[in-house]
Every structure is written in structure tokens, then in C-alpha cells.
Structure 1
Amino acid sequence: MMRLDPSEDDVSLFDAEEDGVRKQKKSKIKHPLACFFHLFFRVSAILVYLLCELLSDSFIACMVTIILLLSSDFWTVKNITGRLLVGLRWWNQVDDDGNSQWMFESRKGTGKNLPSDSESRLFWLGLVVCPVLWVILAFSTLISFKIKWLAVVIMGVVLQGANLYGYIRCRVGARTSLRNAATSYLGQQFFKQAMAKQEES
């Protein structure tokens, strides 16, 4: 594992890659157990939240179960599935002066070490969709006045949102701002579309 240098483009999870590298990448799933647990804890937490009132009358038992599933998901995604499925890892450390520092790592590799396209898609899909669902559940909790569930939903938003934020920062680089990355990506897409239209003419 190496630290990300913002000047380098080590990991290209979304961008088109060179043909030689793409041929080396396999579309099959190399880590089925990691893929399973990447989705299992986060989907289970949402299902338990949605079905809790049907399955049990105990609010405390449901709340503890959901928080345990969310915590397991946070740890698994942060420490295992991100490293195995996309070759990224992040953490936050506090130095001796009490300053908080974000640390990002990216695995450089060729051939066998490259993450497969299927695993990468599954990782990012699960990482993005579930926090969005928790935000929707938070709004529905506020609208339906189920205030006792608000703490549980906020835990879902915070834990899964933290992983999403960490991996997006890891993906775009430690010092590159998200605004600059989005602007760069949109600029590249606009340029590609303009070139395609020019070639058609």
C-alpha cells in the first residue's frame, strides 16, 4: 500500500483506462466473501429498520440490532472490503499536538493486483446507495413524527456517510478538493462530448 500523491492518478475507478490495462482486468468476482459482507451488513440494517415494528415490539432490541449492524458495516467497509475490492483505504489519526489528520492509501498494482470491474461497481454502488436511503429514511422519520427512531436513523446516516466521504476523498486524492475533482470530471465529459460532435460533423 502506498500513500496517495495528489499529483498522481494512481487509481482510476471511474475513468476510461488504456486498452492494455483493461484487458488485464477481469470482470469476475475474485473476493465473493468480501462482496457478500460489503452488502450484507448495510442491507440488513435497512431491512431490520423497515421491518422492525412488524417483527418485534421491543424498540430497544431493534435499536441495538440496527446499531450493531451499522457498526459492523462501518468496520468491514473501512478496513476490509475497500482494500480488497477497490484497493483503497482511509483512516483518521490524531497527532501529538491534537491535530486530526486524514490518511489515504491506494494500492498500486498490475495484473492480479488490479481490482475487477465487477467488484469495483458493486463496492461503489453499495457505498453510495445505502447512505442515500438512510437520508430518505431520516426525512420520512421527521415527517411521520417517529422521533424515537431519529437517533437510529442519524447513526445510519453518520456511519455510512463517513465511509462514503472517506472513500471519495481517498479516490480523488488527499489534498484535492471535491469541488475541483467534480469540475475536472465535468470538464472532461464536456470535452469528450464536444469532440464526438465535431467528429460527427
Structure 2
Amino acid sequence: MKQGGLVDDTEDVELDFSTEEEEQRALRGVKIRHPLASFLHLFFRVAAIVTYLLCDWFTKSFTSCFIMIITLLSCDFWSVKNVTGRLLVGLRWWNQIDEDGRSLWVFEDSKSSPQAGGTEVEARIFWSGLIICPLIWTGFFFTTLFCLNTDWLVLVVASISLQGANLYGYLRCKNGGQEVPPTSPSSFLQGQHFLQRDPV
């Protein structure tokens, strides 16, 4: 097209944002983006509580009950700390030892990355399971304490310790408790790094 002797060869270019908008709308519409992580977040801890309540019906051996419950709670501790916290709420914590031998807590929050973290429903599932189950174990602590059953008391204290550590770590992480910067300063800025790197 000529304008005053000059040739204007610029063309109108239409940018198609409809696919991005559709993807964002679809993600907002999905209530549970990580169904397996949501299931595992509740499965191990609920299975441990049910096993504790019904263990005497299946076996009279305290040792087999102890091993089964501790195994379930250990799987729960690992999966919540390393998988479901990252996927469902975009939080992660771990403990590391520095060169001086001091124990330091490290907390990460991936709010900067839109891919990290789950939906509002997943966040409710995460926090409900994280808070309610240790309260149930605390109730078991008082019942075993009043019954003076020392064998089961040891098991309940171990259960409270495992679930209490995760609860403490995630509450500190949610409230922005930063005790030491992570080993890589770019880990806060790179959402992909947050999702791919596993703590030691």
C-alpha cells in the first residue's frame, strides 16, 4: 500500500490467545489436578490410623502391628515431604547439616511458578490431612497414657513425631520461615528447578 510515495508493507497480525485462555480456564475448572498425589496424601496416614484401631482383630502380635504402622507412617512421611507438598500446595522443606555440623532447616515456596501447587480443593485436602491426623494420634496418646500401655505408647509417640515433623515443617514453610538460603539461589526463581530437584 502506497502512502505519500512510501510503500507500507506492514501487515495486521492477529495473535491467537484463545488456546492459552482455554488452557487456563480448563485448569481453573479442574478441582483435582493431581488425583494420585491427593489419594496418597491421605491413604498412608488413614491406613496407619485404621491399622492401629483394628490391629488386635487380625493379630495378637504387637511386633507385627508396630512394624506395619511404622512402615505406613514412614511412607506417609516420605510422600508428604517429597511429593504431595510440592504438587498440592507448592511448598517444600528439608533439613541439612552445614560445614560446622549445625542442623539447618530450609524452606521453599514456589508461588512464583504457576505450574507448581495444586487447586484450592487440593490445598484443603493437604492441610486437612496434615492437621487432623496428628490430632487423632494425640488423642491416642492420652488414651494409651491413661491405660498405662507402654508398648503402644512408644508407637503413638513415634507416630506423633513423624507426623508432627511434617506439620511443623509445612507450617514454617507456609509462614515464610527461612532459616538458611537454599544451596542454589536460583531455586526460588526457577519453578522448573523446584519441581525437579529432590532434597537430600
Match of 1:39 in 2: 42
User: Equivalents in 2 of 1:24, 1:31: separation in Å?
Assistant: 11
C-alpha distance in 1, partners of 2:29/2:95? Answer: 32
Does residue 1:62 correspond to 2:85, yes or no?
Answer: no
2:147 corresponds to: 144
Q: Is residue 2:163 matched to residue 1:123?
A: no
Return the letter of the residue paired with 1:60.
T
The separation in 1 between residues aligned to 2:157 and 2:97, in whole angstroms, is 25
- TM-fit CA distance, 1:26: 4.5
Sort the Cα spacing of 1:148 and 1:63 in 2 relative to 1 into closer, same or farther, 3 A: same
Unmatched segments (≥5 aa) in structure 1: 1-20, 177-201
CA contact (8 A) 1:25 1:115 kept: no
1:70-108 CA-partner distances (Å, limit 9, x unpaired): 100000000000000000000000001011111011113
Distance 1:111 1:170 in 2: 18
SS at match of 1:96: coil
Q: Which one of 53, 73, 76 corresponds to residue 73 of structure 1?
A: 76
Aligned-partner residue type, residue 74 of structure 1: F
CA distance in 1, matches of 2:116, 2:63: 44
1:108 & 1:122 partners in 2: Cα distance? 19
Relative to structure 1, the CA distance from residue 170 to residue 26 in structure 2 (aligned partners, 3 Å threshold; closer, same or farther) is farther
SS where residue 94 of structure 2 aligns?
strand
Unmatched tracts of structure 2, length 5 or more: 1-23, 180-200
1:115 Cα deviation after fit = 2.2
Candidates 81, 106, 111, aligned match of 1:108? 111
TM-score (norm 2): 0.73
Residues matched between the structures, number: 156
Of Structure 1 and Structure 2, the greater helix share is in 1
Contact 2:93/2:106, CA 8 A, preserved across alignment: yes
Q: Is the 8 A contact 1:26 1:116 kept in 2?
A: no
Percent identity at matched positions? 52
CA contact 1:94–1:100 (8 Å) conserved in 2: yes
Change (3 A) 1:105 1:116: same
TM-score (norm 1): 0.73
Using a 3 Å threshold, how does the CA distance of structure 1 residues 94 and 143 change in structure 2: closer, same or farther? same
Give the secondary structure class of the aligned counterpart of 1:174.
coil
**Contact 2:51–2:69, Cα closer than 8 Å, also in 1:** yes
SS of the equivalent of 2:100 reads: coil
Q: Distance in 2 between matches of 1:146 and 1:68?
A: 21
Q: Which has the larger radius of gyration?
A: 2
Query: What's the counterpart of residue 88 of structure 1?
Result: 91
Task: Quote the Cα distance in structure 2 between the aligned partners of 1:71 and 1:105.
Answer: 22
Instruction: Give the aligned partner of residue 21 of structure 2.
Output: none
Which structure 1 residue ranges, 4+ long, deviate > 6 Å from structure 2? Answer: none
Q: What do residues 136-171 of structure 1 show as CA deviations (whole Å, max 9, x unaligned)? A: 100000111211101110011000000000000000
| Structure 1 residue 135: Cα displacement | 0.5
